[in-house]
């Protein structure tokens, strides 16, 4: 199965990736729309982050309206805010400041 995040193909991770928000949120809305060809999940947060995920038989495609940093070692996706700096380590982990 192919996995895409913001248009870039990434490694499939059993159990998925954990989202780490750099700007905390208090409230969010979650909606799932099911169709014959797949399932669309919409997530909207009060910190301005919007996440849309389409799951079909062949692929999972996620769009996040922010820049992201992917930690492949720990299966985490950091949802960045303006001014965040990211350092990638050789082992696949990342450090965000």
Report domain extents, the chain: 2-96
Q: pTM for this one?
A: 0.93
Query: Per-residue pLDDT for 1 more than 90?
Result: no
The pLDDT value recorded for residue 83 is 96
Q: Give 30's strand partners.
A: 43
For residue range 8-44, what is the model confidence (pLDDT) as tens digits? Answer: 999 999 899 999 999 999 999 999 999 999 999 999 9
């Amino acid at each position: 199965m192919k996995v895409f995040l913001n248009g870039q193909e990434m490694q499939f991770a059993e159990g998925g990736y954990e989202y780490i928000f750099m700007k905390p949120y208090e409230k969010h809305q979650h909606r799932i729309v099911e169709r014959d060809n797949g399932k669309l999940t919409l997530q909207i947060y009060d910190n301005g982050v919007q996440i849309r995920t389409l799951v079909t038989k062949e692929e999972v495609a996620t769009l996040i309206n922010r820049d992201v940093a992917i930690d492949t070692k720990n299966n985490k996706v950091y949802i960045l805010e303006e001014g965040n700096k990211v350092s990638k380590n050789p082992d696949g982990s990342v450090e965000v400041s």
